[in-house]
């Protein structure tokens, strides 16, 4: 079912990422880590649905999404970047994606961190976040979404690594086999991987090679 919701608030998080706070329809439900299809309620865009992950918790009285805009694509996210409070979006029912199965290591690349935001915030609200780790890869420091939140919520269990530059508070390099071997000692736990397809495939393979159970590696299918 498609429903119309108004934008209640827009917050810029990085140079190309914004948080959109939306009305929550009565009875609308989802599980942290799930996504829905979203379109802009304008004639030329109302049939252009794209998947975005909820970053609000199920208990909150609004819906939230953290969305990266791709100016070079001239597509839906580029148009969303032009929207204002009061504009309308179309949303469908929630569906699958990544769901929490227990304490473990979350590995994200860029905007792939968005499914983890809702999961972490939900765990935090129940005081169950302790023991989880986030390894977060980006190109530059200005690309790191919600770094201050992750540092506060996860402490030393938040590790940020940058491919293109060196910056205080971040490691420099990529999440490769050596990095994973250095930062993960227990491969008999849950793993959650989200990011570009090639990254997800490579990291899942590395985790299996280092002893992780393939059934314990969760990623978007």
pLDDT tens-place string over residues 88-107: 999 999 998 788 999 999 99
**What are the helix (H) ranges across the chain?**
76-80, 114-125, 147-154, 177-183, 197-209
The architecture that CATH gives domain 3-91 is: Beta Barrel (2.40)
Provide CB contacts within 8 A for 92, sequence distance 6+: 1, 2, 3, 36, 37, 38, 49
Position 221 confidence tier, pLDDT thresholds 50, 70, 90: low
Pairwise CA distance, residues 90 & 113, whole Å: 23
Q: Where in the chain is the domain with CATH 3.40.50.80?
A: 104-219
- For residue 42, the model assigns a pLDDT of 96
- The order of strands in the sheet holding 35-40 is 50-53, 35-40, 88-91, 3-14, 17-23, 62-68
Q: What is the mean pLDDT of residues 82-91?
A: 98
Percent of the chain with pLDDT over 70: 100
Q: Where in the chain is the domain with CATH 2.40.30.10?
A: 3-91
pLDDT tens-place string over residues 46-69: 999 999 999 999 999 999 999 999
The architecture that CATH gives domain 104-219 is: 3-Layer(aba) Sandwich (3.40)
35: nearest Cα among 56, 10, 17, 12: 56
Tell me the pLDDT of the chain averaged across its residues: 94
Report yes or no: 177 and 204 within 8 Å, Cβ to Cβ: no
Tokens of 161: 């690594």
Q: What is the mean pLDDT of residues 197-219?
A: 94
Pairwise CA distance, residues 112 & 194, whole Å: 5
């Amino acid at each position: 079912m498609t429903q119309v919701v108004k934008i209640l608030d827009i917050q810029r998080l990085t140079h190309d990422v914004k948080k959109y706070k939306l009305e929550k329809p009565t009875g609308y439900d989802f599980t942290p880590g799930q996504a829905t299809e979203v379109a802009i309620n304008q004639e030329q865009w109302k049939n252009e649905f794209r998947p975005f992950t909820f970053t609000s918790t199920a208990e909150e009285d609004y819906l939230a999404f953290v969305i990266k805009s791709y100016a070079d694509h001239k597509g839906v996210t580029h148009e969303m970047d032009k929207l204002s409070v009061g504009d309308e979006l179309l949303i469908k029912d929630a569906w699958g994606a990544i769901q929490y199965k227990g304490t473990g290591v979350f590995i994200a690349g860029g905007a792939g961190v968005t499914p983890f935001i809702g999961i972490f915030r939900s765990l935090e609200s129940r005081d169950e976040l302790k023991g989880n780790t986030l390894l977060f890869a980006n190109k530059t420091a200005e690309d790191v979404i919600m770094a201050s939140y992750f540092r506060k919520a996860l402490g030393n269990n938040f590790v940020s690594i940058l491919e293109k530059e060196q910056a205080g508070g971040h490691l420099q390099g990529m999440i490769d086999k050596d990095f994973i071997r250095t930062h993960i000692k227990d491969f008999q736990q849950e793993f959650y991987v989200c990011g570009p397809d090639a990254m997800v495939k490579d990291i899942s393979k590395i985790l299996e090679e280092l002893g992780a159970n393939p059934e314990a590696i969760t990623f978007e299918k």
